Amino acid sequence: MARILVTGAAGFIGSHIAEQLLARGDQVVVLDDLSNGRREHVPAGSVFVEGDVRSAADIDRAFGALGGPIDAVCHLAGQASTFRSFDEPSWDMEVNGVGTARMLEGARRNGVGVFVFASSMTAYGPPPGLPVTEDMRCGPISFYGVTKWAAEQAVVLSARPESMGLRAVAFRMFNVYGERQSLTNPYQGVLGIFLGNVLRDEPIRIFGDGEQSRDFVYAGDVARAWIQAIDGSPEGATVLNLGTGTRTSINELWRASVAACGQDPDAWPVSYEDGRPGDQRHMVADISRASDVLGWAPEVTLEDGMARTVAWARTDEGATR
Ligand code: NAD
Ligand code: UD1
């Protein structure tokens, strides 16, 4: 049984990781300021500390909340929206950049050995080819991508013996979806937004021509990779893509979302609007390194994961999210 600190677990992906950790018997403390998360998403059985990852005092409160040393940190708290990062780049940099550096300092102060970080495919920017491998150069085109890349590189640097000597993993996650992704929040991922639109009988909005494409990976599969990283990542720093290797266009996604809710895509109202700043065109992950290093592979297809998400959205919990 290990003691794990998960930041951002009142949010979407972190709540899946905390849930899986608790299910296997670990003790979990959650640090989240509830700025974009919900207290109800923090899984029962975890200890909740309401606080800010930019505050050393809040971080130390979280490190002390389980009454014993923390074995690993899963750091997910942050600003997650690509296009929102254009509204206030300084805020994005504070939360994602300074917040991550403060968490690293907290890990060092509290003697933690393992640090796993939520990086993003947006760190790459437009890639030189598809699928994207971890060796490709990074050139982000959004402030969000810049801060994720900078924070990721700080995490990588923390593994060097002369800095912090952590066992560090940065997951460049592609587009994660699943239960507890908001159906109402315009700053969360597109699949939750589309399902919310259909279930509320609203038109769907497409930014650009809808032919841009993404790699959608189910949150339960992602959480499994994080746990495998805690248990068995190599010493030093490791950067890994987390996706499926399958590319889906936004036009394909909206049609599948309408169909998954039992409606006719040909009859659904859709508007096409201007593209958003920082929007990447095509992205799909090469996931062979995660397979080689962790023995990880995604198990849930987009069709099955979407069906699970729709089933959740139709529950009382989903209906209000
Ligand atoms: P989310 O918004 O649901 O979760 C983020 C959580 O962090 C929220 O609960 C929020 O309240 C909390 N938070 C924000 N600022 C904070 C602060 N200053 N102090 C403490 N808590 C704070 O987002 P998500 O989709 O679950 O994403 C989780 C992480 O994974 C983010 O760092 C995001 O950038 C990254 N990521 C997400 C995806 C994706 O597809 N959703 C892909 C790649 C990377
Ligand atoms: C998403 C995640 C980001 C993560 C990245 C990694 C969110 C909010 N963003 O960014 O945290 O790091 O994946 O892959 O979780 N779109 C529409 N209509 C809508 C909403 C979106 O057409 O109503 C389009 C967008 O313009 C974009 C695509 O759908 O082309 C995906 O958008 P979005 O889900 O916001 O995610 P990313 O920017 O890819």
Pair of tokens at residue 155: 């995490």
What pLDDT does residue 317 have? 81
Q: Indicate if the pLDDT at residue 80 is higher than 90.
A: yes
Which residues have C-beta atoms less than 6 Å from ligand 1?
8, 10-14, 32-37, 52-54, 76-78, 80, 95, 99, 118, 120, 173, 175-176, 189
Q: What is the pLDDT of residues 155-176, one digit of tens each?
A: 999 999 999 999 999 999 999 9
**In the structure, what pLDDT confidence band is assigned to residue 318 with cuts at 50, 70 and 90?**
confident
Q: CA 55, CA 220: separation in Å to the nearest integer?
A: 30
Topology, domain 178-214+246-283+300-320: UDP-galactose 4-epimerase; domain 1 (3.90.25)
Indicate which atom in ligand 2 lies nearest the CA of residue 214. Answer: 39
Supply φ then ψ for residue 299, to 5 degrees.
-120, -20
Give percent of the chain above pLDDT 90. 98
Q: What is the pLDDT of residues 124-145, one digit of tens each?
A: 999 999 999 999 999 999 999 9
Give the residue among 199, 209, 106 at the shortest CA–CA distance from 158.
106
**In the structure, what pLDDT confidence band is assigned to residue 214 with cuts at 50, 70 and 90?**
very high
Q: What is the pLDDT of residues 219-228, one digit of tens each?
A: 999 999 999 9
What pLDDT does residue 320 have? 58
What pLDDT does residue 238 have? 98
Pocket test for ligand 1, best of 34, 152, 176, 181 (most atoms within 8 A of CB): 176
Q: Domain ranges in the chain? A: 3-176+216-242, 178-214+246-283+300-320
Q: What is the pLDDT of residues 94-122, one digit of tens each?
A: 999 999 999 999 999 999 999 999 999 99
| Ligand 1 atom 35, closest CA | 118
Ligand 2 center to 20 CA (angstroms): 25
Q: CA 266, CA 263: separation in Å to the nearest integer?
A: 9
Q: CA 207, CA 250: separation in Å to the nearest integer?
A: 9
Q: CA 11, CA 29: separation in Å to the nearest integer?
A: 14
Ranges 183-187, 239-243, 264-268, 278-282: which has the least confidence: 183-187
**Mean pLDDT computed over every residue of the chain:** 97
Among all residues, which ones are annotated catalytic? 144
Q: CA 97, CA 126: separation in Å to the nearest integer?
A: 22
Q: Indicate if the pLDDT at residue 297 is higher than 80.
A: yes
Cα dist from 152 to 4, 120, 144, whole Å: 20, 9, 12
Per-residue pLDDT, averaged over 297-310, amounts to 98
CA atoms within 13 A on the CB side of 38: 12
Ligand 2 center to 23 CA (angstroms): 30
CATH code given to domain 3-176+216-242: 3.40.50.720
Q: Indicate if the pLDDT at residue 319 is higher than 80.
A: no
CB neighbour class for 123 (10 Å; exposed up to 12, middle 13-18, buried from 19): buried
What pLDDT does residue 321 have? 62
Cα dist from 229 to 164, 167, 255, 289, 298, whole Å: 18, 10, 35, 13, 14
Q: Indicate if the pLDDT at residue 31 is higher than 80.
A: yes
Q: What is the pLDDT of residues 234-264, one digit of tens each?
A: 999 999 999 999 999 999 999 999 999 999 9
216: left (phi over 0), alpha (psi -120 to 50) or beta: beta
Cα dist from 78 to 36, 52, 86, 198, 319, whole Å: 9, 10, 15, 28, 25
In the beta sheet, which residues pair with residue 173? 120, 242
Ligand number with the minimum distance to the CA of 94: 1
Helix 219-232 crosses helix 12-23 at what angle (to 10 degrees)? 60
